Amino acid sequence: MKDEFVVIDITTNGLDEDAEIVSFAALRFENGVLTDRFFEYVNSGAVLSDNISEVLGITNDTVQKYGITIEDAYWQLIEFCETSQVVTTHQVFDNKFIERIRIEYDLPELENNIINLDALFHLKFNRGYSTRFVENQLGITTGETGDWRHLDIAGKVYLALQGE
């Protein structure tokens, strides 16, 4: 088992190919303990529909007021991850957006070892990763709220799968 890893999440304003990243979030785990958090809104000029705002719990005003450039947010994410192993819950989805911004803004690759929790779930449970499944079927929960809730659960799932 890796002593240190970072669980990352990319939030977008939609699911289609032309959706834009609106935030990056990450949690660092060391020796099985949550030790640090990273979060940045991204102000790319993307507009959030009322439906997306309701689902995400954020508004256009929030993103415009607190968001930073995609370049700055991506560089901060790279710095936060350092040399840690990175765990994603849906790597295929995330990679579509990361690759697009990397090319568009001439940004470097995230060179960390990346573990796709969704792929691990397919191997172990013959289904994709789902926070609801983890809570209901595996009994893994958290006291964290908001963006941190699903990241903390993903970190605990990764630890549990490594311990088997």
Helices of type H across the chain: 50-56, 60-66, 70-81, 91-105, 117-125, 131-133, 147-163
pTM metric for this prediction: 0.91
Q: Decide: residue 44, CB within 10 A, 0-12 exposed, 13-18 middle, 19+ buried.
A: middle
Q: How far does the chain reach from its first CA to its final CA, in angstroms?
A: 10
pLDDT in tens, the chain (164 residues): 458 999 999 999 988 888 999 999 999 999 999 999 999 999 988 889 898 889 888 999 999 999 999 999 999 999 999 999 999 999 999 999 999 999 999 999 988 999 999 999 999 999 999 999 999 988 999 988 877 888 999 999 999 988 75
Distance (Å, rounded) from C-alpha 91 to C-alpha 148? 18
